[in-house]
Structure 1
C-alpha cells in the first residue's frame, strides 16, 4: 500500500532521473527543459489531487489485501437466530415414565454451527441485567400466559412468582406487574384471536408509546371457535401490516447498524411470535376440541402462518418461538390435556427468546 511519503519519493525520482536519462539520448537543452517542466507540473498536480480519488489499495480486490485471521471464527452472529431451536431436553432418560420430568432443562447441541453460536442458559442475574429497565408485553391466549409464568419466575424466583400467581391466572383477564429490583415492567394482554393482537398494535400506534419486547401469539381459540384457516390467514396478514406500521424502523435491525439514530419515534421493538403447541388429539378434554383441533387442521393453520410472511424466516417482522417443536420434543409425558405443557417447555422458549435478544442487541454474557 502506497502512502504519501512513498508517492512523494517516487515523484521526485521521476522528475530527477527521467530528464537525466533523456539527456543521455542527446536531446536539445530546450526540449529537455520543456519536458522536465511539463513532467514536474503534471506530477505536482497529480499528487495534490490524489486525496480526492480512491486510494490505490481501494482499487485492488479484497482478496489481494485482506486475509482472514488465523484464529477466531468468522461465523456471522446474526445467522445464529436460525439455530436457536437446535437443542434437546437434558435428562430425557429420567422422564420415560413421567418421573423426574421436572428436573429436565433445555440444552443446545454442542456441535457444528450451533456450538459456534455459543448459546447460554441465562440465570436470574443474567436475565435481570439483560431486561433491566425494559418494558415487555406478552399478548395472546393461555400459551402466552404460561410464557409469562416462566419469564417472571426466572427474574423473580419461585417464591416471588407464587405471590402473584393467583392474580395472573384470573380467567380471561389482563395482568400487569413491575419488578422493582430491575425496573422491569411486564404487561400481559388477554388476546385469544389474531384480530385482538391487531387491535393492540393500533392502540400502541395511537399512543405513540412502544414496548421494548413484544411476544404475541394466537390460533388455538380461532381453531376451536372459528375453525376457518382462510379467515385465520387474512387476520395474520392484517396483523403483519399493523406490526410493520407500528414504527418507522419496525424490526429492521440493519437500519440501526446503518446509522439511523434511535430517537423515541424510531425505537427498536423486538417482536416474537409464540407458535401453536403440538396438540395430542386423544388427550384433548372435550369432544368439540377433538373434532376441530385435528392434526390436519393444525397443519393448515401453520401453513397460513408461513404464507402470511409474518415470520423473520420469510423476511417478516416477528421471530418465531416454536412452541410446536419444543412441545413435540418434550413429548406426551409433558402434558395432561394434550394442549398445555409442563413449565420446562415455556422455560425453553424464554431461554431462546433471551438468547435472541442478546444477538439482536449485540451483547454477550461474560
Structure 2
C-alpha cells in the first residue's frame, strides 16, 4: 500500500501543477484559484481518509494467501521470541573425556524450527561484540562457577585463562574480572543457597544497581544440607518477590536460571550424597521450582536447562555424577548468548 507520506507528496504536486496547466489554457485567474482550492481540499480529505479504506489485498484474497504461503518458512524468524523454546534441541557426539571442543555438540538441524531460528555458535570476536560494555553477574554454587569458566573461555585468550582458572576456583569465594579489551565486567558471587541469592538481589535493590545480564542457580547445597523440597519452594517464592524492584526499573536485566544437573546416583562420591540426592528428591525439588513460576512465560527467567543438557551428554561427561565436562556448560553458554541475540533482536 502506498504510504501516507508518498501520497501527500503526490497530492501536493497535483495541487501545484494542475492549476499551472489550466493557467496555460488561458482560463481566468479566479477560475484557476477556485479550481486549485477545491482540488487542494479534496485531496487533503482523501489523504486523511486513505488509511481507513480497505487494502487491495482485501478484494483479492488469493494474492494475500499466496504471498503468505511463499514465506511460510520464515514464520519462526518473524517471531524470534518463539525461538527461545527450541534453544535446547542439541545433540551430542562421542568425545574423549575432559576435552572441551565445540564439535562435541550441535543443534539438531533436521528440526525445521531450529533451522529457521538460525542458532549460532559464537566465536571470540562475536561474543566480545555482543557483551561489549556489559555487566554480567553469575551467582550460585559450583555449577555456576563452571558456567563462568566456559563463558570466559569464549571471551579470553588461552594465556589469559591460566590465571583465571586458579583465581576462579578458590574455594567458596567470589570472583571479579574486568576485560578492558571488550569492556566487559564480570562478577561471580558464591551463593549456594536460594537465601544467598535473595540477599544478593536485595543488595542490588538497595544500591540501585542492576547488571545487564544476571544468571542465577541454586539447589544442590540445599538438597544435601537441608533436604526439604517444601522449604526450597518457599525460598524461591521469597526470591521471586525480591526481584520485583529490578523488573520495574528503567534498565531491566536479562535473567537466566541455571538449572540443576542430572544426578548419577551411583557415581556420587559419598554415602550422604547418594542417600539425600536421589532421583526422587531431585524430582521433588524440580516440582518445587516449577511451582514457584520463575520461568517464562509466567516468570522472568529464561531457563538454562543443565539437566537436559547433562542427561543427553550422558555418564561419559561426568566423573562424580554431579559436575560435568566443560562441553555441557559451553552449550549452556551458547544457549544464553543466542537467547540474548533473540531478546535484543540482534543478529551477528
TM-score, length of structure 2 as denominator length = 0.81
C-alpha contact (below 8 Å) 2:295/2:302 kept by paired residues:
yes
C-alpha contact (below 8 Å) 1:244/1:317 kept by paired residues:
no
Q: In the aligned structure 2, how far is the partner of 1:277 from the partner of 1:206?
A: 32
Quick one: structure 1 residues 350 and 50, their matched pair in 2 at CA, closer, same or farther if it must change by over 3 Å?
closer
Q: Which position in structure 2 is the counterpart of 1:191? A: 191
Q: In the aligned structure 2, how far is the partner of 1:236 from the partner of 1:198?
A: 9
Please state if 1:291 is matched with 2:294: no
Q: Which position in structure 1 is the counterpart of 2:336? A: 353
Quick one: structure 1 residues 104 and 205, their matched pair in 2 at CA, closer, same or farther if it must change by over 3 Å?
same
Q: Which position in structure 2 is the counterpart of 1:209? A: 209
Q: Which position in structure 2 is the counterpart of 1:109? A: 108
Corresponding residue SS for 1:341: coil
Quick one: structure 1 residues 102 and 57, their matched pair in 2 at CA, closer, same or farther if it must change by over 3 Å?
closer
Corresponding residue SS for 2:345: coil
C-alpha contact (below 8 Å) 2:246/2:253 kept by paired residues:
no
Quick one: structure 1 residues 280 and 70, their matched pair in 2 at CA, closer, same or farther if it must change by over 3 Å?
same
Q: Which position in structure 2 is the counterpart of 1:334? A: 317
Q: Unpaired segments of 5 or more residues in structure 1? A: 10-40, 249-264
Quick one: structure 1 residues 153 and 63, their matched pair in 2 at CA, closer, same or farther if it must change by over 3 Å?
farther
- 1:266-312 per-position Cα deviation (integer Å, ceiling 9, x unaligned): 11311000000011111111111111000000011111111111011
Q: Which position in structure 1 is the counterpart of 2:91? A: 88
Q: In the aligned structure 1, how far is the partner of 2:266 from the partner of 2:332?
A: 25
Residue in structure 1 matching 2:304, options 312, 318, 321: 321
Q: Unpaired segments of 5 or more residues in structure 2? A: 15-37
Q: In the aligned structure 2, how far is the partner of 1:119 from the partner of 1:46?
A: 49
Give the alignment's Cα RMSD to 1 decimal.
2.8
C-alpha contact (below 8 Å) 1:104/1:344 kept by paired residues:
no
Corresponding residue SS for 1:132: coil
Q: Which position in structure 2 is the counterpart of 1:29? A: none
Quick one: structure 1 residues 62 and 308, their matched pair in 2 at CA, closer, same or farther if it must change by over 3 Å?
farther
Quick one: structure 1 residues 181 and 114, their matched pair in 2 at CA, closer, same or farther if it must change by over 3 Å?
same
Q: In the aligned structure 2, how far is the partner of 1:177 from the partner of 1:271?
A: 20
Q: In the aligned structure 1, how far is the partner of 2:175 from the partner of 2:199?
A: 17
Quick one: structure 1 residues 73 and 45, their matched pair in 2 at CA, closer, same or farther if it must change by over 3 Å?
closer
1:246 Cα deviation (Å)?
1.3
C-alpha contact (below 8 Å) 1:153/1:160 kept by paired residues:
no
Q: Which position in structure 1 is the counterpart of 2:253? A: 269
Q: In the aligned structure 1, how far is the partner of 2:103 from the partner of 2:217?
A: 25
Corresponding residue SS for 1:316: coil
Count of residue pairs the alignment pairs up: 309
1:69 Cα deviation (Å)?
7.5
Q: Which position in structure 2 is the counterpart of 1:57? A: 54
- 1:75-134 per-position Cα deviation (integer Å, ceiling 9, x unaligned): 2211111000001123x2x55xx5967675320011211111111111111111111111
1:202 Cα deviation (Å)?
0.9
For the pair shown, the structure with the greater C-alpha radius of gyration is: 1
Please state if 1:300 is matched with 2:297: no
TM-score, length of structure 1 as denominator length = 0.77
